[in-house]
Structure 1
Amino acid sequence: MNKKILHILEFDQIKEKIAQALATSQGQAELQHLGPVTDKARIQKWFDELSEFGHIVQENGPVPLSNTADLTEILRRIELDASLSSQEFAKIKKVLRLVNETRRFFEQAVNVSFPVLSQTIDKFVDVGYLLGLLQVIDSAGALSDTASDKLFSLRQGIKKSDADVKKILSEILAKSQSSLTDSIITIRQDRPVLAVRSDSKNKVPGVVHDMSASGQTFYIEPNRVVQLNNDIAQKKIEEKNEVARILRALAEAIKPHIEDIRQNTWLIGQIDVLNAKYRYQIMAKATVPSLSEHKAIKLYSARHPLIDPKVVVSNDLFFDQTLDTIVITGPNTGGKTITLKTLGVAQLMAQSGLPILAEIGSQVGIFTEIFADIGDEQSIAQSLSTFSSHMTNIVSILNQVDHKSLVLFDELGAGTDPKEGAALAISILDFLKSKHAKTLATTHYPELKAYGVESEGVENASMAFDLEQFRPTYRLVQGVPGRSNALEISKRLGLDSTILTEARGLLTEDEHDVNVMIASLEQKNQTLTESVNRIKVLEKENNLLHQDLTKSFDSFKRDREKELNKARQEAQDIVKVAISEADDILKNLQEKSLLKPHEVIDAKHQLGELAPDIVDLSKNKVLKKAKAKRGLKPGVEVLVLSYNQRGNLVRLAKDGRWEVQMGLITTKLSEDEFEPIESEKEKQKTKTRAVKKTVTSNVKAQLDLRGTRYEEAEKMLDDYIDQALLANLHQITIVHGIGTGVIREMVRSYLQRSRHVKSYAYAPQNAGGSGATIVTLK
């Protein structure tokens, strides 16, 4: 898009407002490159990222961005093998730490999904390794003593020698007070010295490094510390060389990862700009518009971002698909130019991925070019008049315009003879209409009012004026041309009635009728506007209510999921306890040599009691109806199929099973474990089924798990082991097949933890090999 429109519409000043919310130098650099594009998919992605970012911040708080330095020059110097200071490495470390914190923030974000933004977040490169290397640089930018063993030894030696020097000098200070002009240790030529009186310089033997201007004081390094200071100086040289070596090694280690660091810094800039957009959106009460398929524009309560929010007037502007041209007519000082700029700025901001200052529901088009001729274009340098300058600009626009262009003209045709200017303006608008360019033009020529009424695809508009307050309202009124208020204003200002009467008489009948018609249209438009405003208020309230309900529903779903997870965990704990207790019950049964029927029934009852009462099925109406059809009720005599014994129903438990009394024993049974005894014929059928079940319930010494799913196989194995124990089987075979090994591994794991298994091993090759396991039970 042409750069001139960015200057005319002051796009850089808008970006400066967004820049106030930036935190990093990387964000500053990225914002500089921000500008309008024409790729609809790219713009939509920017908007989706902004919306997702807003949801993340609302649920998880602000992104932990902080001030960072620009690494461009530092990274380039590493590539050139130039020397870097420890402070420059500290700047790299700070950026890499911010990368880690930013990645962690998005990874740990809860209660929100962000599929579009994730495409950007996933591009971050893990920099943990580099951060580990840079731990030798502290937050102040100094190299840590522990960066190397040699550096640690040198610095410890320097500290010890410094302490020895201070101790010796302190002793000399205490003994030679009368020979000194000052009782402090000072520094001359990087050496610690004492200020000795000139007449006592021989009393403190040493090296003279300086003398006062008056000659009364000599700065002497006592001989006792000269060698120590020489050692310190030597160690400092070695320390400097060691620091340089370590920093070179760091640069060499970082060099292969330069592109990864650049990638991360670019991404930090993207996130920072996104954060700044969101903060601007909240501060300016901006919204994300939808994108039109056919250049249609719908702006609700649009405002110009560079006008003080306390005084700016919002306007609706509707530029639908069938409309090519809007002509705003009427006198000057009514806000026509600001309306032009507001439309242009909204389009520039939206096509740059920025939220616009308009209400929810607004829509923008996608234009490859936006042209404008606004303001005083007089060129002193080229000795061109205002009209000539405007026409030069308009000619350039007309040579470039096409059906994907948006054109903004302010006071089209002004600066020349009114008749010729109006004719020229109409011809230009016709040319743009033939190109199907979207055009918004302002003019004060009355001839264009008729053009707006008579021409297809053209609509009149005007800026409302408050006659009672004698001031413009700056509100756009579409569908109604502007009318001159000169006579009415003159009357209110006290102009002689005779003059006004003569002026009205000079108006043609058509001109009078047009003014009356416009006044009527304005009144109807005012009524319609009030109705629309009421509808908009209701719509806004409904939108807010919808947002609140959506947020509450999402919160409810999250809370429900938390409770379900909690219940699942509790259920797992109960199952673990139940399995343990079941093992104990079966072990006790196994230890008895002879099992009586009532003991088996009692054991089964104990197992049944382990199951928790989760759902009160006794209150289920459908279940009650099904049970009523079978005639099940307390007191009914039933036959327990598993043991071929009679009993009586006692009551229906909450878990849907019946308590059955069999002699002295009471147990819980599901409906498929017993049958009601209703007649002799039915009794005979029940006995037959019971006998068949007893015959078929003989436990085999082999279980085949092939072809079963994991969970089903695990349950079958658990049930089979219980049956084998009850049947006093000593050795069993589990056929699990080879396959992927999942079922085989499950069997091995189960047998390993089971207290009832004495030993287990794969079957011989002729009996299945590793596809079957032979188990010896205790």
Structure 2
Amino acid sequence: MNHKILEILEFDKVKKLLENLLLTEQGLEEVRQLSPMVDIDRIQQAFDESRDMADLFVHYPHFTLATTQEIGPAMRRLELEADLNILELLAVKRILTISKELADFYANLENVSLRQLDKLFEKIETFPSLQGTLMAVNEGGFLEDFASEALLKIRRKIQEAEVQVRQVMQDLLKAKADMLSDSILASRNGRNVLPVKNTFRNRISGVVHDISASGSTVYIEPRAVVALNEEISHLRAEERHEIARILREISSLLHPHTAIIRNNAWVIGHLDLVRAKHLFARDYEAVVPTLSDQQDIALLNVRHPLLTKPVANDLTFGSDLTTIVMTGPNTGGKTILLKTLGLTHLMAQSGLPILADKGSRVAVFKEIFADIGDEQSIEQSLSTFSSHMTHIVDIMRQADEETLVLFDELGAGTDPQEGASLAMAILDDLRLRGIKTMATTHYPELKAYGIETPHVENASMEFDTDSLRPTYRFMQGVPGRSNAFEIARRLGLADVVIKAAQEWTDSDSDVNRVIERLEKQTLESRKRLDHIRDVEQENLKMNRALRKLFDELTRERENELNKARLEAQEIVDMAMAESEDILKNLHDQATLKPHQIIEAKSQLKKLAPDLVDLSKNKVLKKAKAERAAKVGEEILVTAYGQRGILTNQLKDGRWEAQVGLIKMTLKRDEFGLVKAEKEGQPQKKQIHTVKRANVKGPKARLDLRGKRYEEAMQELDEFIDQALLNNMAQVDIVHGIGTGVIREAVTKYLRSNRNVKEFGYAPQNAGGSGCTIVTLK
């Protein structure tokens, strides 16, 4: 793409808008090098990256990057095996840190399907060892003491020597106070000195470093600290030497990974640029357009990005349309629309979002040429017309079917009749060569050319004759009028003069009347379109209101059904409570085994009708969530319909409960809380049942191999409880041999359980000492 078009359409100003949104110097450099592309695949890749970033922001709206510095010069120094300084190492450290953060972010990415950005994330490589080494480089611009043992020792010696110097100097301040001009220490040439009165300069031995401007004060380094200061200077030199050695060592570690670090920096900068594109689209209400491979342009509500309050316009430039001729008065916005068309395509071909609505299409041009503005050249002694023609000649020589040509005031600056003829000849030549062209002009002859010539269309900018101001609305298919007579009349020009002028232009009156009718039809069509859009919005609002009413009606119906279900359930609860009392009396009157009582309860429960499954009921879920379980509360085990008491809550959230003679471990969703008994009313309880088809059958074997001790004991306890509830006479417990810890724990548990009749190891062919057979009472 030629650089002249970038200057004419002010593409650099658009890039400035992006620069304000960037965080990294790598991204800043990339946007400065950004230019329109002609490869449709590369443009589509840039569009897909922008769509990926938009999807990313939906799920991760706070996605951001840290600021970075340019590391190109540092990488070149490394390639030459030179040592990096601390600031350069800090820049590399920041790149490695951000690389690790981005790699971790991508590893934990969920719910986002990427088209192109995944390739960028996968190119990032991390270096944990190098990051650990660079921890010695402090963000303040110095090396930490732990960078090496030698550096730590040197700095400790320096600190000790400085403490001694300060102590000696403080003692001298006190002892020689009457000889000093000030009671605080001074510093000269990097040394601590005493401000001694000139009259006492011979009373304090030492090195004179300075004398005050008045000559009344002499700055003396006492002899007592000269040796210490010399030692500190020597240690400082050793410190500098050690720092240089450490920097050389770190640089040598970075040298083999120069190419990868450089690539990481580029990926970070590119991600920053894609992020800036998304922020630009969000702030300016821009979109990623669709690419057309047939030069089919459809810009919906397109706007110029550099205007403060741009007017949106629709511009259609179909594949069968070659030329658009735009006429009308000055200051109507013709040039702005011309620039908008060109700049929009420069942005799109650079992979940037365009200021338009969704559904917009853009073409891909190898070159865009424009002749816009005053091209008068004083240096070359060329007039405006000559300068324009020189430029137009160059354009026509270079233009082909894959270019877009923009002409502003084509044929201006010369005799109107000759200029109009020349303009039509130029446009017709471009039309016959199939070159997309958009031109603005004042010549009325071009209006007839636009009407009579195939593949050519007229256009104009709307002008409000009532307010005498342009509306900047684009009217495609309608040639423009100068509106000179209407404007002159409203400005106070005499009617006699206006009528005389109209008599001179009778030959064009028919054309003007046709144009006027076309303008009215266009305005009427636009009003109808606006009305259709308003009706569409009202329909959407009505649809949302009806949907809201339907949802409310559905909720009310569900609430009423829930009330009926709760009432029915309370009746069943009362019946179950009565059966509990009967069974309790039965238990008091006769000595029955626990599993016989449980079996009797299950048989009684079968006599009641199946309860409704309320596990999905929103009202019951809310009630359940509001009431928390507590130790000592009465519960109902949902799987067996048995009552019990909560005795303890385990650390993993489960509960221990005593159900008759059986101790059970339950999850919170495996039991319901029994309602508290009100004064003077029979006790009621709330039951949450599960479908019987979902309850799994009892198991006669438990496998504890590979389990941890606590987990094994918990599963064993639950297994024995389930076996007792299901009236099982014998079960097998597979614990393996291993270290014997689980086997001993199983033996201890079975020995202490009163419901176990006897137990022993299985026969050798059935597992031997790795399996225990248990007989229950």
Aligned to 1:69: 69
1:697-747 CA distance string (max 9 Å, x none): xx9xxxxxxxxxxxxxxxxxx9xxx9xx97979999x9xxxxxxxxxxxxx
> Please, which moves more after superposition, 418-427 or 519-528?
418-427
Q: Find the aligned partners of 1:7 and 1:80 in 2 and give their Cα distance.
A: 39
- 5 Å-filtered alignment, 1:490-501, equals 490-501=488-499
1:531 aligns with 2:528: yes
1:402-428 CA distance string (max 9 Å, x none): 222111111112222222222222222
Aligned to 1:624: none
Aligned to 1:364: 362
> Please, which moves more after superposition, 145-154 or 497-506?
497-506
- The one-letter code of the counterpart of 1:532 is L
1:108 deviation in Å? 4.2
SS in 2 for 1:84: coil
Q: Aligned to 2:408, which of 377, 400, 410?
A: 410
Aligned to 1:380: 378
1:229-268 CA distance string (max 9 Å, x none): 2222221111111111111111111111211211111111
Identity of aligned pairs, percent? 43
SS in 1 for 2:185: strand
TM-score (normalizing by structure 2): 0.71
- 5 Å-filtered alignment, 1:538-617, equals none
Q: Aligned to 2:500, which of 496, 499, 502?
A: 502
Aligned to 1:172: 172
Aligned to 1:263: 263
Aligned to 1:246: 246
Aligned to 1:425: 423
Aligned to 2:38: 38
- The one-letter code of the counterpart of 2:522 is N
SS in 2 for 1:326: strand
SS in 2 for 1:64: coil
Q: Find the aligned partners of 1:428 and 1:18 in 2 and give their Cα distance.
A: 38
Describe the shift of the 1:538–1:252 C-alpha distance in structure 2 as closer, same or farther (beyond 3 A): farther
Describe the shift of the 1:356–1:515 C-alpha distance in structure 2 as closer, same or farther (beyond 3 A): same
Q: Find the aligned partners of 1:432 and 1:541 in 2 and give their Cα distance.
A: 47
Q: Find the aligned partners of 1:227 and 1:5 in 2 and give their Cα distance.
A: 72
Describe the shift of the 1:260–1:604 C-alpha distance in structure 2 as closer, same or farther (beyond 3 A): farther
- The one-letter code of the counterpart of 1:223 is R
1:453 deviation in Å? 0.9
1:123 aligns with 2:123: yes
- Unaligned ranges ≥5, structure 2: 547-592, 618-687, 701-718, 737-741, 751-758
Aligned to 1:626: none
1:442-493 CA distance string (max 9 Å, x none): 1111111111111111111111111111122222111111123222222333
Describe the shift of the 1:729–1:192 C-alpha distance in structure 2 as closer, same or farther (beyond 3 A): closer
- 5 Å-filtered alignment, 1:304-703, equals 304-309=304-309, 312-509=310-507, 511-536=508-533, 655-657=690-692
1:215 deviation in Å? 4.4
Describe the shift of the 1:431–1:155 C-alpha distance in structure 2 as closer, same or farther (beyond 3 A): same
Q: Is the 8 A contact 2:406 2:437 kept in 1?
A: yes
Q: Is the 8 A contact 2:424 2:446 kept in 1?
A: yes
Aligned to 1:153: 153
SS in 2 for 1:318: strand
Q: Is the 8 A contact 2:760 2:773 kept in 1?
A: yes
Describe the shift of the 1:485–1:56 C-alpha distance in structure 2 as closer, same or farther (beyond 3 A): same
SS in 2 for 1:193: strand
Aligned to 1:221: 221
- The one-letter code of the counterpart of 1:531 is R
- The one-letter code of the counterpart of 1:82 is A
Describe the shift of the 1:600–1:108 C-alpha distance in structure 2 as closer, same or farther (beyond 3 A): closer
1:187-225 CA distance string (max 9 Å, x none): 233222212233333432233333445544333222222
Q: Find the aligned partners of 2:129 and 2:69 in 1 and give their Cα distance.
A: 21
SS in 1 for 2:472: strand
Q: Find the aligned partners of 1:440 and 1:317 in 2 and give their Cα distance.
A: 11
Describe the shift of the 1:536–1:346 C-alpha distance in structure 2 as closer, same or farther (beyond 3 A): farther
Q: Find the aligned partners of 1:522 and 1:536 in 2 and give their Cα distance.
A: 21
Describe the shift of the 1:152–1:731 C-alpha distance in structure 2 as closer, same or farther (beyond 3 A): closer
Q: Find the aligned partners of 1:10 and 1:617 in 2 and give their Cα distance.
A: 65
Q: Is the 8 A contact 2:102 2:121 kept in 1?
A: no
Aligned to 2:185: 185
Q: Find the aligned partners of 1:669 and 1:387 in 2 and give their Cα distance.
A: 94
Aligned to 2:47: 47
1:347 deviation in Å? 0.8
> Please, which moves more after superposition, 88-97 or 167-176?
88-97
1:542-577 CA distance string (max 9 Å, x none): 89999999xxxxxxxxxxxxxxxxxxxxxxxxxxxx
SS in 2 for 1:204: coil
Describe the shift of the 1:57–1:617 C-alpha distance in structure 2 as closer, same or farther (beyond 3 A): closer
Aligned to 2:289: 289
Q: Find the aligned partners of 2:100 and 2:30 in 1 and give their Cα distance.
A: 20
1:165 deviation in Å? 1.0
- Unaligned ranges ≥5, structure 1: 550-594, 620-652, 659-667, 674-698, 700-717, 735-748, 765-772
SS in 2 for 1:143: coil
Describe the shift of the 1:471–1:598 C-alpha distance in structure 2 as closer, same or farther (beyond 3 A): closer
Q: Is the 8 A contact 1:618 1:655 kept in 2?
A: no
Aligned to 2:81: 81
Q: Is the 8 A contact 2:48 2:115 kept in 1?
A: no
Aligned to 2:11: 11
Q: Is the 8 A contact 1:618 1:654 kept in 2?
A: no
Describe the shift of the 1:762–1:402 C-alpha distance in structure 2 as closer, same or farther (beyond 3 A): farther
1:613 deviation in Å? 10
- The one-letter code of the counterpart of 1:191 is R
Q: Find the aligned partners of 1:373 and 1:292 in 2 and give their Cα distance.
A: 25
1:530 deviation in Å? 1.3
Describe the shift of the 1:618–1:427 C-alpha distance in structure 2 as closer, same or farther (beyond 3 A): closer
Q: Is the 8 A contact 1:89 1:141 kept in 2?
A: no
Describe the shift of the 1:99–1:526 C-alpha distance in structure 2 as closer, same or farther (beyond 3 A): same
Q: Find the aligned partners of 2:93 and 2:157 in 1 and give their Cα distance.
A: 29
> Please, which moves more after superposition, 345-354 or 397-406?
397-406
Q: Find the aligned partners of 1:44 and 1:669 in 2 and give their Cα distance.
A: 55
- The one-letter code of the counterpart of 1:241 is H
Q: Find the aligned partners of 1:352 and 1:479 in 2 and give their Cα distance.
A: 30
1:422-442 CA distance string (max 9 Å, x none): 222222222222222221111
- The one-letter code of the counterpart of 2:429 is F
1:42 deviation in Å? 2.3
1:634-673 CA distance string (max 9 Å, x none): xxxxxxxxxxxxxxxxxxx965549xxxxxxxxx999xx9
1:152 deviation in Å? 0.9
Q: Find the aligned partners of 1:139 and 1:495 in 2 and give their Cα distance.
A: 75
Aligned to 1:574: none
1:11 deviation in Å? 0.2
Q: Find the aligned partners of 2:146 and 2:616 in 1 and give their Cα distance.
A: 72
SS in 1 for 2:405: strand
Q: Find the aligned partners of 2:773 and 2:490 in 1 and give their Cα distance.
A: 113
Describe the shift of the 1:260–1:202 C-alpha distance in structure 2 as closer, same or farther (beyond 3 A): same
1:135 deviation in Å? 0.5
Aligned to 1:235: 235
1:164 deviation in Å? 1.0
Aligned to 2:635: none
Aligned to 1:100: 100
Describe the shift of the 1:598–1:495 C-alpha distance in structure 2 as closer, same or farther (beyond 3 A): closer
Aligned to 2:631: none
> Please, which moves more after superposition, 438-447 or 359-368?
359-368
Describe the shift of the 1:543–1:25 C-alpha distance in structure 2 as closer, same or farther (beyond 3 A): farther
